[in-house]
Amino acid sequence: MGKREVPAGVSVPVRVRPGAGRTRVGGCYAGPHGPALIVAVGAPAVDGKATEAVRRALAAALGVRAADVALRLGATSRDKVFAVEAPAAELEARLTALRGS
C-alpha cells in the first residue's frame, strides 16, 4: 500500500507526528537525515497507517499526485525520507515555505 520505488526525484526528510488531532504539514525539525519537514497526521502508528497518511498529506502540501510520492527510508521510524517525483526547483520553493525557513 503506497510503497514503490522511485528512480529519480527530490528526497524530502520528514518527522512524523502520528495520532495528532488534525493533519498539518509545516515546521522544521533537525532530524537524522537533515532538516526535516514536520507532518502531523491523525492516523495511528500501526500497520503503516501513519506512513500512508503522511505520504498523502505531503503530496497535497507539495501540490503533486500521491502517486508521485514514495517512501525511501524509515518504514518503522518517525524520521522518514520520501522521494517526490516533480521538478526540483518547484519543490524546493514549496519546501522552504512549509519549513518556515
Joined grid coordinates for residue 3: 510503497
Joined grid coordinates for residue 6: 522511485
Would you state the torsion angle of the CA atoms of residues 2, 83, 73, 66, taken in this order, to the nearest 10 degrees?
Answer: -20
Could you tell me if 6 and 23 are in contact, meaning their C-beta atoms sit under 8 angstroms apart? no
State pTM to two decimals: 0.88
Domain locations in the chain? 10-99
Topology of domain 10-99, per CATH?
Conserved Hypothetical Protein Mth637; Chain: A; (3.30.1200)
Could you tell me if 91 and 8 are in contact, meaning their C-beta atoms sit under 8 angstroms apart? no
Higher pLDDT, 87 or 3: 87
**Segment 12-46, tens digit of pLDDT:** 999 999 999 999 999 999 999 999 999 999 999 99
